[in-house]
Amino acid sequence: MQLLMKPRNTGEKWTREEIQGIRKHLKNISTIVPVFIVFMLPGGALFLPRL
């Protein structure tokens, strides 16, 4: 979160390494979100082991 808020709080831009780190974290989050969506559906806990 601190890295995402860096430009707003300090006025500095992200470095290339920081941008790569942000992209890596966003890719990891995007793989987890579909599992949560399935789990939140009615009866989703029953379908989760099949995935």
Please report the DSSP string for 1-51 in residue order: -HHHHHHHHH-PPPPHHHHHHHHHHHHHHHHHHHHHHHHHSTTHHHHGGG-
> How many residues can be counted in the chain?
51
Residue-level pLDDT at 48: 65
Alpha carbons 24 and 4: distance in angstroms, whole number: 13
For residue 36, which of 19, 22, 51 has the smallest C-alpha distance? 51
Q: Is 44 in contact with 38 (CB distance < 8 Å)? A: yes
How many domains does one find in the chain?
Answer: 1
Residue-level pLDDT at 20: 95
Residue-level pLDDT at 19: 93
Residue-level pLDDT at 51: 61
Q: Which domain does 38 fall in, by range?
A: 2-50
Q: Which residues of the chain have pLDDT under 50?
A: none
